[in-house]
Amino acid sequence: MSKFNLVINGSQFSVDVDPNTPVLWVLRDHLKLFGTKYGCGRGLCGACTIHLNGSPLRSCQLPISAVGKNVITTIEGLSKTGEHPFPPVFAAVANALYKAMGKRFYQQPFQSQIKA
Ligand code: FES
């Protein structure tokens, strides 16, 4: 385990995790930021996309040790007040896709999380 200090959506976080832990699981399991989704886990689908200093990356393929002092933006960071149209549209499309597949990886409380 190692301690990492992160800047995510303009806020500072500290986590103590294995350096090889993908950023996706740090966000979801340790920081409870559920907007970043798990899809394929192989860097193919883009469900886990975050921005690192403004550049999109697949967080399922990015170990937390590679983040360094770079700034992370997740989908929650796009719209803290709910005025950005992308998060609700993304949640609706994602839910529809996964309902069609018979799975529910995407959580319904997503919109309430981004408006909080
Ligand atoms: S979960 Fe599919 S690209 Fe990361």
Ligand 1 close to Cβ of residue 15 (< 6 A): no
The CATH architecture to which 2-77 belongs is Roll (3.10)
3-state DSSP assignment of residue 28: helix
Separation of 48 CA from ligand 1 center, angstroms?
Answer: 5
| Sequence ranges of the domains in the chain | 2-77
Query: What is the residue-averaged pLDDT of the chain?
Result: 82
Separation of 39 CA from ligand 1 center, angstroms?
Answer: 5
Query: Which residue among 23, 25, 28, 48 has the greatest number of ligand 1 atoms within 8 angstroms of its CB, and so is best to mutate?
Result: 48
pLDDT number for residue 107: 47
Segment 73-96, tens digit of pLDDT: 999 898 766 566 566 666 666 666
Where residue 19 falls among pLDDT bands split at 50, 70, 90?
A: very high
Q: Would the pTM count as exceeding 0.75?
A: no
pLDDT number for residue 79: 72
For the CA of 59, the nearest atom of ligand 1: 4
DSSP summary character for residue 73? E
Ligand 1 close to Cβ of residue 38 (< 6 A): yes
pLDDT number for residue 53: 95
Among candidates 86, 64, 65, which has minimal Cα distance to 76?
Answer: 86
Count of C-beta atoms within a 10 Å radius of residue 10: 10
Segment 35-58, tens digit of pLDDT: 999 999 999 999 999 999 999 999
Ligand 1 close to Cβ of residue 40 (< 6 A): yes
pLDDT number for residue 78: 82
Separation of 32 CA from ligand 1 center, angstroms?
Answer: 18
